[in-house]
């Protein structure tokens, strides 16, 4: 068991909330080119692409996409070409995320937001792949059966450390990591997905379908909590900022505002209110994504002052830019 991946917060408090019996599964400490959940989502795709003899992988994302960042890094490591289809017109200056991706060899193809909405349509994907000379396509965020299967392996880490009655807390965007955990953990565990987007009304249905598609019949319980999106995807508010900065200063636990910060905010609020008992064992899954911290101007001062810089791969150093 890799103890470096686990951080216990037992006996600690966070802004008035007890963190007794809370452990953090630090996937951000995995190291390599793509620490966090992205490596789990992508592994099956790279294996299949290799089996098919693919030479160029195509996928989709925004200017600060953790998915494209990880795809570019892993593609370089595996010696396969990659192309990222980017939502929105090309800016005068690339985001730090896309600068990394381009430096690692990813070709960047910008499309209008209107065109980007077609990214889930098979016909559009096939046409785009042909035009961009890609012979393997990964859905946005790695959100498909291979991604779910990859994230099921995160459950193996949980089972090494967590008691069978534990609540597992994980941020939910596409629901892929959530579905993988639910499918692979046995009854007795309960997985709570903290929804990072506002108004994503079909996430529950998509997660249920993804779990059913694995064929698992004896799974953990699960639910979604939609109260902690902080205004929408990649939005933040004062409560989120306070929780993140307190975690970093007190526990040397770096978070980012899109996913992991919101998961911790939910844990803090629900423990403080008594909705979740402080006697219940909790595992908060840190899904990585620390490279995206560079896109938030309010984090710049913290990062430039060197307050508990993220650990793990040097590719994920945080240096700040506006967002």
Hey, which residues are catalytic here? Answer: 65
Q: Which two tokens stand for residue 68?
A: 């494209």
Q: Which two tokens stand for residue 135?
A: 């012979």
* CB-based burial label for 66 (10 Å; 0-12, 13-18, 19+): buried
Q: Which residues are CB-contacts of 128 (< 8 A; sequence separation ≥ 6)?
A: 58, 85, 134
Distances (CA, A) of 63 to 170, 287, 294: 23, 19, 12
C-beta of residue 87 within 8 angstroms of C-beta of residue 60:
yes
Distances (CA, A) of 178 to 89, 104, 117, 224: 32, 29, 24, 10
DSSP structure string for 152-215: HHHHHHHHHHS-TT-EEEEEESSSHHHHHHHHHSPBTBEEEEEE-SSS-TTHHHHHHHHHHHTT
The helix-helix angle for 38-52 and 176-184 (nearest 10°) equals: 90
Q: Taking Cα atoms as reference points, which of 219, 214, 220 lies closest to residue 192?
A: 220
């Amino acid at each position: 068991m890799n103890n470096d991946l686990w951080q216990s917060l037992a006996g600690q408090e966070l802004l008035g909330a007890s963190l007794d019996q809370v452990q953090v599964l630090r996937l951000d400490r995995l190291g390599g080119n793509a620490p966090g959940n992205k490596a789990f989502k992508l592994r099956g795709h790279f294996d299949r692409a290799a089996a098919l003899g693919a030479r160029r992988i195509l996928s989709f994302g925004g200017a600060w996409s953790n998915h494209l960042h990880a795809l570019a890094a892993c593609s370089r490591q595996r010696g396969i070409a990659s192309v990222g289809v980017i939502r929105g017109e090309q800016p005068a200056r690339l985001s730090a995320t896309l600068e990394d991706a381009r430096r690692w060899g990813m070709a960047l193809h910008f499309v209008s937001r209107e065109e980007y909405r077609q990214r889930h349509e098979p016909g559009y994907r096939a046409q785009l792949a042909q035009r961009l000379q890609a012979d393997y396509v990964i859905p946005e965020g790695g959100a498909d059966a291979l991604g779910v299967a990859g994230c099921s392996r995160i459950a193996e880490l949980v089972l090494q450390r967590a008691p069978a009655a534990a609540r597992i807390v994980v941020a939910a965007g596409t629901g892929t990591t959530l579905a993988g955990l639910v499918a692979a953990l046995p009854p007795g565990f309960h997985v709570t997905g903290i929804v990072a987007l506002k108004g994503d009304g079909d996430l529950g249905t998509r997660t249920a379908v993804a779990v059913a598609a694995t064929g698992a019949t004896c799974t953990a319980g699960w639910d979604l909590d939609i109260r902690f999106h902080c205004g929408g995807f990649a939005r933040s508010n004062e409560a989120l900022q306070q929780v993140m900065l307190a975690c970093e200063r007190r526990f040397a636990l770096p978070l980012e505002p899109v996913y992991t910060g919101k998961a911790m905010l939910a844990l803090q609020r629900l423990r403080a209110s008594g909705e979740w008992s402080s006697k219940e064992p909790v595992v908060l899954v840190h899904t990585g994504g620390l490279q995206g911290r560079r896109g938030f101007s309010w984090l710049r001062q913290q990062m430039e002052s060197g307050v508990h810089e993220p650990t793990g791969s040097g590719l994920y150093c945080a240096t700040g830019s506006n967002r």
